Amino acid sequence: MKFLAAVALTFLAIASPALAAGAPAKPAAAKRIVLPTDVRPDRYDIHLAPNAEALTFKGVARIDLTVVRPTDRIVLNAADLTFGKVSLSGQANAPRIVLDEEQQTAAFVFPTALAPGKYTLSIDYAGKIYQQASGLFALDYENADGSKHRALFTQFENSDARRFAPMWDEPGVKAVFALTVEAPDGQMAVSNMPEEEVITSGRPSDPLAANMKENLQRRAPGAPTTHTVRFAVSPKMSSYLLFLALGDFERIHSQVGKTDVGVVVRKGDAAKGQYALDAAVKLLTYYDDWFDTPYPLPKLDLVAGPGNSQFFSAMENWGAIFYFDSALLIDPKISTETDRQNVFITIAHEMAHQWFGDLVTMDWWDDLWLNEGFASWMENKATDHFHPEWNVWLLTQSGQQSAMRLDSRAGAHPVIADIPDVFAAANAFDSITYQKGQAVIRMLETYVGEDAFKAGVRSYIKQHAYKNAVSGDLWTALDKAAPTRRVADVAHDFLLQPGVPLIQATETAGGIALTQSRFGVDESQRAPQTWRTPVNVQGPNGQVLEVVSAKAPKTVPLGAPVIVNSGQTGYFRSAYSPALWAKLAPTFPKLTAANQLGLLYDSRALGEAGVAPMSDFLALARNTPADADPIVLDTLSSQLGAIDGLYGDRPGQAAYRDFARAQLAPIAARLGWDAKAGEADNDAVTRRGVLTTLGELHDGAVVAEARKRFAAWVKDPASLSGAGRSTVLAIVAANADAPTWEAIHAMAKASKDPTDRSRLYGYLGASDDPALANKALALALSGEPSPTQVPGIVAAVAQGFPDKAYDFAMVNRTKLEAFLEPASRITYFAELAQASRDPAMLRKLATLKATVPASTKGEIEKAEAAIRNRLDVIQARVPEMDRWLAANRG
């Protein structure tokens, strides 16, 4: 699943690091709540009859199962399902049904114990169709002609297959699935496997299908006629990978060897899906070769859905990957170069899951990183192969910083975290699992070498195909492929304990001395800790790779200046003694782009933590060349914009904004407003980033030009498209007055494209005018936006007015929860508050935390830590910046 970053991201790190010592130890695990293992499923035959208009469905499940040990009950998962007739082969009496709504289980209890052996459990049941992405859900949209449509999709990760059918809804319980659906005539049905039989008229030969069809057709007067679609039986897989879609779709496709690769879109959107199809064709061939295990299914569909989620953009269902439109489709009218890159990267991520996650699945949610960390790493490896001009490994540094921020303060958790139940599993979908996971994998690949790493992964995939695995299985394979590197030792240090190492460099007579301590933000992250850390050091006389730990400091025979973490492939912060920094900082303009990024990120983090002066970062910002790599410039822009958010109308904000605008103005002047023939793809990305940041900094010339272009576009919609349109809208929305806000509102209401409509509604929440923020909040619950657009409007307001958005959400909590995926509701509320600069928010979050289950308290603690961190930086570091700015005017 492609995870989306939090609604409010802040790059803050505070508190001096403590010296580390000792070895990592995984905390004692809490008791894991899982289903009994007396019975295991072998095959599911599920027949579904949806009623999209009524948002309900009926189903019959026939489950072939094995009783492993004598038991008087069969316990499986079920949520929001009602049961009719239930029977078990060989049993004359129907079982007693015991429901546990809290644990989302159903127990079928028999008068006497069942003997070990094979049985078939038959269940008639009914369920609900949701309007947010959980279980079987509906997405509504309008076509260009104004006609209204509803399409159905499923989203089961991490634990919502139980809302679709009663089943063993745990990743370690694999079975085969045979799915049949009653589809309204004229609609296409899509699942993991190809259609095996389509019955358009008459009575299906299968009695179950025949009964379902009859029940459906007599359910209500005027109900649509249907056709029966029976899909081929799936391979053995986990329940969360099952998929179904129903709608007014069309499909474009291409054959790649034995695999039919397709993109499924709403009718009329085929041209928007061609870019995705071309990408998928390339990637499938690449992955077949890289994994040395061909993709095993006969088809691979990429399915587009017209909506949004606040927490994910795509889901790796085996053979039928789901994407929201914005993550799959490219429309020249509204898509930017960033969109093109993100679509390719997201496709690469989800397709990598077809091996890491689908073919080989983690045994339990504590090893989620085996799915998500690897897919995040593989997306970049594959993208870099096809698009080296994008410098995607530089782009990953932003995500790694997000992980480091979270990993250095309260709320951090190990990558391999203790997950006592499926409800706690939702908390693991964060930047530590994804971005830290992929960063550690890249560090390990660099440490052992590409060839050995690939050999180990290939062995792991072959050995565990169609099975479940744990992290130790991967380390065993990698250790065999690279026996001299002791991969497991390094991996355990970084994955079994939270935290960020700090490598400190000092010049000595014998070379550069390297020591390791801990970069902590608060008391929870100051406990001594050690990591065996691969450190790549580059100096004028060579490059050295050493493993450094608190117990084993190293001295490398290099002269100054040196770059610690050269190439930025290591997961740690780098700090230099004042003497070393004095020699290194003047070389900044001549460093590689990767190392420039590393110095920018580390100098800011260390400065905000008080480990180094904030002036180190400010001086680098001032000395960044206007013609540096586009990603370096885009990063500088975002960092300067983030620091501005610390001020919150403090007296020094005007001087800081003068400084920030002075650094960005030459970049904006060089790039201009319009794309140039032959320019690099990343120039387009940086142009939008720099201009948008200048707009947020209230640069008069930039805001005036954006308003001028906006006025021209209102008169002539053809005058702006793609990145130019997006940039202008972002600037005028942030600086909107009431008439401008109403103009954007009118555009949102009139737009028939779901992605465009959602983005326009989001812009309505971006104004820095508190009165307009209030209007946006009121609009969110007015009934005008679609259900999946509502959370995004409130989240947009939270970017500038976190306290206002949070208070609104708490007052309207019940209403808002209806638009949120059940497992992610508390995460959403906590993230609304995360950008607050008001100490009162900590009291509000404490009140919320007292009302939620233990499994979700960690999400609130993450937000509390972010706010405390920000308040500390505002108090201790903003005055330091003010003094430096006053002393360095001009």
Distance CA 2, CA 406 (A): 19
> Could you give the angle at which helices 471-481 and 368-386 cross, rounded to 10 degrees?
50
Question: Which residues are paired to 59 by β-bridges?
Answer: 48, 125
Token output for 243? 């998929």
Neighbours of 294 (CB within 10 A): 12
User: Residue 196 contacts by C-beta under 8 Å, 6 or more apart in sequence?
Assistant: 230, 231, 232
Q: How far apart are CA 503 and CA 553, in angstroms?
A: 10
90 close to 112: Cβ distance less than 8 angstroms: no
Strand 554-556, strand 117-128: pairing: unpaired
DSSP 18-56: PB--S---PPPPPPP----SSEEEEEEEEEEEEETTTTE
Please state, in angstroms and rounded to a whole number, the distance separating the CA atoms of residues 828 and 813.
11
- Active site includes 250? no
Amino acid in the structure at residue 242:
L
Q: 3-state class of 86 per DSSP?
A: strand
- CA distances to 232, 233, 436, 575 from 40, rounded to whole Å, are 22, 18, 35, 53
Residue 682, classed as helix, strand or coil, is: helix
The first and second tokens of residue 308, run together, are: 């949004």
How far apart CA 325 and CA 309 sit, in angstroms, is 11
> Can you tell me the distance from the alpha carbon of 874 to that of 837, in angstroms, rounded to the nearest whole number?
9
Count CB-CB contacts under 10 A for residue 307: 24
Amino acid sitting at position 98: V
d(CA 847, CA 849): 5
Q: In whole angstroms, what is the distance from residue 645 CA to residue 632 CA?
A: 20
DSSP string, 795-855: HHHHHH-HHHHHHHHHHTHHHHHTTS-GGGHHHHHHHHHTT---THHHHHHHHHHTTS-HH
SS3 content of the chain, % helix, strand, coil (to 5): 45, 20, 30
- Paired sense of beta strands 226-231 and 259-266, if any: unpaired
| Tokens coding 78 | 């079920």
- Find the catalytic residue in 350, 379, 445, 608: 350
- Rounded to an integer, what is the distance from CA 313 to the centroid of its chain? 7
Task: Specify the 3-state DSSP secondary structure of 733.
Answer: helix
Nearest to 44 by CA among 59, 62, 58: 62
The sign one gets for the Cα dihedral 203, 207, 212, 218 is positive
Phi and psi torsions of 92, nearest 5°: -75, -30
Q: From CA 404, how far away is CA 438, in angstroms rounded?
A: 12
Distance CA 648, CA 643 (A): 10
Q: How far apart are CA 749 and CA 747, in angstroms?
A: 5
Give the span between the Cα atoms of 872 and 664, in whole angstroms. Answer: 27
- Chain centroid, CA 281 distance in Å: 23
**Spatial distance between the Cα atoms of 746 and 761, rounded to a whole number of angstroms:** 10
Three-state secondary structure call for residue 591 = coil
Q: Alpha helices, DSSP H only, in 487-577?
A: 487-495
- CB atoms < 10 A from the CB of 257, how many? 11
Separation of alpha carbons 289 and 211, rounded Å? 46
User: Which residues are annotated as catalytic?
Assistant: 350
